Chain A
């Protein structure tokens, strides 16, 4: 039935080697052209083809003429008889091969029948044939281009780069971006944040009125002469905030004691020192 040995055809699909494929391709082409139309059964093996266009191209090359001058009509007939043969043998063909067959049958009819110009937009048979010829030429051109690319002296195959490159050592310098606004914002916000978190209410040392009065009673018991009140209090003026509370409390206490007749106060003028003594009447004990 087929001239292809089973081993030959089995080898074809799995092959990845482009060179081997190219050789197979050449073999196939030769077989196609040698056999001609006398033995169409030869061409039924479609395993080695990459779709209907590829098959058409192989058939076209079997015409041994320039693709530009190829007879599309003959090509269409060749393809159709190929498909017919395949069907006769009940071979399974992929759908796209059949679609192409249908299209070629249509093309054939358009080429054989005189052109009926019923639709301006419709392409004539010749135009359709030219389009197909173009596609075949273009596919072949791309195939040739691939071969020419692979035939170039390639890096790592035929030409070589420096095997031991001396790599550039990158020394990184960082430059930092920050402007005055960033700086001030950072300062202001952290000052503010911190002022909120660190406010502590200090426990203030406060003399109560009673404490001041007790102190005055103890100290003034033996004062018969006018004496500046500060002289008694100075020993408690250790810190400024204590001074304030001592003065305030003892002044208030002294006023209270005057009202009670326990004490006399004298001040010559505003902001002058305040003098204090025990009243004569109650000054029962001589101090001297």
Chain B
């Protein structure tokens, strides 16, 4: 086979090219020819096709994501915004934190263990590339029905993969979610997030500047696995039939990644890099074009110097390979020696593959012959942008009209008791300990809070006890009923979870999981959700620092529920002031903060008891969320509360049961006379226990602090209703029922092991 050089391409303008097979549209191919003024070479075509794929170019989502950059709240914490590998926020005392969530949905369905494992690997490299030491991971997960046979294949593999990779890297897993819904049957959502910590001066950016600087590829050798895998796979409707549509999945090597982390941190410590980029989707195509595009000059790469695992790889394949555990650094010539020495120390292969030029082109050579000559921006940043048509689906009105409030409610105290047990034991509400116990949450010795707390929390500084917290939340059922509100509810819940732990929410990342953008109904969901999230962030003062979009999560015509997942990062000056969820001290008073209304649309109760999804999701009141958060943070700082648990799916009773089980104590609850300050709901036990009104939390107040606490709530205008006391070894709702802790514990903890153990 002759090498398709730039010269050859110029001489053979009419040669047929496989642009269609590479996922390009006709007009996109024409555009490439226009940019280059000739047909692209095979290598150029490979680069454009992966970089212009949905996964890498965000071509369908870009016009909507813009809002995150436009509706930016006043926030001095933001140090690096959207566009870099991950955003960076200031957490005080000279520290900065970078964090991000990414999806690895499609590969995890094909090969659950490796798909999930490499998902963790990818996000950790993103964080590392910012200059930070990764300090924790989180994993929001969604699967098909818990009792579906295929879920038995997917879930254990995904969990083992996340654990297998993260545990081996020495990163504590401090949070996440596990949600089951038939809508994810053929499209499980495997999102992974990572938090990294650095000093302000250590922030590194992905840009190649300074002519003469060397381009060093280091880490694993490049192999033939996953060629175009992630990008192409994540850019198509997934169809499991034809084996030819099954691109190779990569196998991760967490040991190599651990070496890469330590090696890279040592390189940072000695200040040896001018720019750095991880290799993820689209591999070298992405790293070289992005580095060059963000820098001032051009770049020249000798592709035949790339260390290979398989010597028969073609240049196109090398450019597209998504082999894991690789990084690319820009290094001044006089620092190359030391750079390579550190790599040698850590047994990491490192190779100078090129250099920054004073030109404007990205030029790639293969044994001396030029095979790529492109303006890097056109590859990395000037991909196609689609204004996809969107339209509110015709079924949305009927769905919203199907009010969950009309569902039959338990008629007797006995029935209410049964339904409480049912909800607490349902796969979505049950304890996830069987899963999270497969994750190391202690490693690094800084974990202050981890599962099943509202937020994960790690200590950042051993001297001052500065810490950061993170929670991730998303509720596809709410978002299906109303994607605008659903996105805000995800934000609000995550924000509330962080505040409940005592930390101040600072900024967010997101992972937007949706169906096919070619479906106007899905595109409408996407448009609504992004608008809701951007508006919500503005209202809460928490900027979006970055995120990830995963589209084409659908089987045939059926899309998953729109599932925006939001990760909120918070900061706490002194982790000794954190608030756990556990009720531990008998006699402490339980207060319900916020208003409770008759809100059952999309609720856990409607799902578990009636298998119902309809109506409207709970009303969003972001001002209220903000106030609630302020109260929770002040109360924690001033030692007024000993426990706090946010209320979300499953309502008050779910939260109380979790807090009781965690602390090993019971609670006696009294149904209050009024549930909402505006008088909209009077005190009925069912609404009290199961409503999913937003903006609420339950707290345990030592008697000595009661006055101070209620005064503070009254002064700030936050409804605080005394609903009971920590006591005994049962959860008792006065006049209704009593459920022993043992019975509750069995119901709550046995479900998941029985399904997957």
A binds B: no
Residues in B lying within 8 Å of A, measured CB to CB: none
Residues in A lying within 8 Å of B, measured CB to CB: none
